[in-house]
Amino acid sequence: MKREIPGTYILSGKNARQGYALNRMCFSFNDAANREAFTRDQKSYCERYGLTEAQTRAILDRDLIGLQRLGGNIYYLGKYAGLLGLDVQDWGAMQTGMSKAEFTAMLFASAA
């Protein structure tokens, strides 16, 4: 990126290098059998894909911001979040520190 935009995580070269294994694991969730394997044992599944300890911890903790700081990208993390049963308003709330109701209200308020 030619300049940083606060609160925004672009998959630039630096993030892509750091996050490759993590993003590759999330990409694997396109396959239903892999989703089941992850759900059965998240930690082993992370190991299989070669995630770092910090990335594995962030997966287990559902730490979306942490995962992005460690190179995860929303196009792939979205598959992980979906697998946890979270919708995009849940993600919004988790990342902004708002409640889901507050986050949704903010979206509606932007229409004005």
Q: What is the DSSP secondary structure assignment for residue 3, as one 8-state letter?
A: S
Q: What is the DSSP secondary structure assignment for residue 28, as one 8-state letter?
A: G
- Regarding 99 and contact with other proteins (CB under 8 A), the answer is no
- In whole angstroms, how close is the CB of 11 to other proteins at the nearest point? 5
Among 54, 60, 84, 88, binds other proteins (CB under 8 A): 88
| Near other proteins in 47-76, by CB under 8 A | 64-65, 68, 73-76
Q: Could you please report the per-residue DSSP string of 73-99?
A: -HHHHHHHHHHTT--HHHHHHHHHT--
CA distance 63 to 27: 18
Query: How far is the CA of 73 from the CAs of 14, 40, 84, 104, 109, in angstroms?
Result: 12, 23, 16, 23, 27
Among 10, 54, 84, 101, binds other proteins (CB under 8 A): 10
Interacting residues toward other proteins by CB under 8 A: 1-3, 5-13, 16, 20, 23-24, 26-27, 29-32, 35, 64-65, 68, 73-79, 82-83, 87-89, 91-92, 95-96, 103, 106-108, 110-111
